[in-house]
Amino acid sequence: MHMRSRTILVLILAGIFFTSLTFSFYYRISPTTDAKAYTRIARNLAAGLGYIEHYENAGDPLRDDAIVRVGPGYEFFLAGIYWFLGGENWSVIWAVQAILRVLTAFFIFKLSLLLLGDEREGRSVGILAALIFAVFPDFIVVGGMLLAETFLMFFLIIATYYSIKLLNTGKTSYAIFASFFLGVASLTRPTAIPAVLLLAVLLAHRKRWKLAFVSLVFTILFIGGWSLRNSFLYGRPLFTTTAGSYALWIGNNADATGGYDKTPQIQELVSKEHSVELSQKAFRDYFAFIIHRPFKFIELQFRKTALYFSLLRPMGFWLYLNGKPIDRLITIGLSGAFTVLLFVFGVAGVWRYFRENIREKYFLLGAVLLQPVVVIPTYVETRYRYPFYLFLVFFAAYAVWLLWNKKITPKIILWVFILFLVVSAIDFLYSGDVFIGRFNDIRRESFSSQMRYYREHVKS
C-alpha cells in the first residue's frame, strides 16, 4: 500500500475509534426497548440462568418469551463480555463496538482494493469510503447503543470480502472464513441467510461442490443448532426464533402502514399469549391476508418499498434525544444529508460498477440487492436499512471518484436524485400525517426548551 494512503487510512481509523468513544461516553445512552431486552438476556446468560429475558423465569424457561427477540448472535456476544468481566459494563461494550467500527472501515477499504485494484482508483475510493463510513451519523449513533447493527455490519462486510476472495481464487481457507463470518451474521440476523445460499449456489454452478458445502457448514451448525434447541424446548418446529412470523404479521395486515405499527388487536394478543403460540396464528393470518386481500398485499409491498428508499426517513427520533431539541435537529439534518449522499451517489455507483462484466460480479450484486429484498416483505424501520447503507458507502465513494475524474456526467447523478425525489414524494403521500406529526413534535419540543431556558436564565 502507498505510504500516503496508509497514513490517511490510519488517521481515519483512529478518528473512528475516538469519535465513537466520545459520542458513547458523552450521551451514555441507556438501553431501551430492543436494547434493554438484549442486555437482560445477555445478563442472564452470563449468570448461567439460560436464554431468558426475565430472571424470575430461570426455573421455567417456557414461561419466558426471549425467543421473540431476533438473535441470538448479539445476545451471546454481550453475554461473553459480561461473563469475562464478571458483570455488566456498558463502557466496555462501547469500546468493543468502537473497535468493530474501526475493523469494519478497514475491511471496506480492503474490499475497495479487491474490487478496483491496489492502484490509485482502488486506494482513493477505499479511503473515501472509509471516511464516509467514519462520519456517517447513523453509524456513530448506533455504535453507542446496545443494538446488533454494529456487530452485524462488521460480520457482513468481512463475510462479503472473503466470499469474493473465495469466488476469485477457489481457496478452501477463504471458504472457511466466509462460512464462519456468514454463519455469525446469520445467527445475528437471519436476513443474512439468503447471502449464504447465494454463495453456495454460485459455487455449485461452477461445480465446486466441496467449497459449496464448506460455505454452508457454519450457518447449518449455528442456525440448525439454535433451531433444534428451540424446537425441542417448545415441542414444535421453530426456525431460529418467533421474530420472523411476528414481523410478517405486523407488516402485512389490513391496517398495516409499512412500519412497526401494531394494531390494537395485535397488541392485545401479544400481551396475552406466548410468542410461540402466537407465531402460528401470525403465519395463518399472514397467508390468509395474501389470499383474501391480494391487491392490498401488493399495495403494501409498494408502500414499504417507497418507505425503504425514501429520503424523508433520516435518523433522529431516538429516545435519548428527548428534551434535546438542538441535538435532535443537528442529528436529523446530518443524517438526512448523508442519506441523500448514500442513496443518490450509491445507486449511481451501483449502476456504473455493474454495467460491465456483470457475470463476474453476481455475488456482490446479489448481496447488495438482498438487503432491501429481505426487509421489505416484513416491515421497514430506518435502522433496518443500515446493512444496505454499508454497501452503498463503497458505491457512493466510487461514484464521487468517477464524477471527480469526469468518468460519469453530473446528469446521471441528477436523474438518480430525481428518481429518489419521486420515491420520497410517494412516501410522503402515504405517510404525510406522520411527517407533520413529527414536525409538530419537534416544534413543541423546541418551544418548551426555549421557555425553560427563559425561566432558568432570563428571569433569574
* HSE-CB for 100 with a 13 A CA cutoff: 24
- Per-residue cell: 264: 390494537
pLDDT tens digit at each of 460 positions of the chain: 677 888 999 999 999 999 999 999 999 999 988 999 999 999 999 999 999 988 888 878 788 888 888 889 999 999 999 999 988 899 999 999 999 999 999 999 999 999 998 788 899 999 999 999 999 999 999 999 999 999 999 999 999 999 999 999 999 999 999 999 999 999 999 999 999 999 999 999 999 999 999 999 999 999 999 999 999 988 888 888 888 888 888 999 988 888 888 778 777 777 777 778 888 888 899 999 999 999 999 999 999 999 999 999 998 888 888 888 889 999 999 999 999 999 999 999 999 999 877 877 899 999 999 999 999 999 999 999 999 999 999 999 999 999 999 999 999 999 999 999 999 999 999 998 888 888 887 887 776 665 554 455 555 4
For 196-224, give one letter per residue: b (16+ CB within 10 A) or e: bebbbebbeeeebeebbebbbebbeebbe
Helix, coil or strand: residue 293: coil
Give per-residue pLDDT as tens, 375-411.
999 999 999 999 999 999 999 999 999 999 999 999 9
CA distances from 84 to 43, 72, 80, 96 (A): 12, 18, 6, 13
Report pTM. 0.93
What digits encode the pLDDT tens for the residues 352-369?
A: 999 877 877 899 999 999
Burial class (CB in 10 A: 0-12, 13-18, 19+), 329: middle
Q: Which residues contact 6 (CB under 8 A, 6 or more apart)?
A: none
With b meaning 16 or more CB within 10 Å and e meaning fewer, what string describes 10-43?
Answer: eebbebbbebbbebbeebebebeebbebbbbbbb
**Dihedral sign computed on CA atoms, order 38, 40, 41, 42:** positive
Q: Is the dihedral of CA 235, 239, 242, 246 positive or negative?
A: negative
Cβ pair 31, 320 in contact under 8 A = no
> What SS3 class is residue 252?
coil
Residues 108 and 12: beta-carbon distance below 8 Å: no
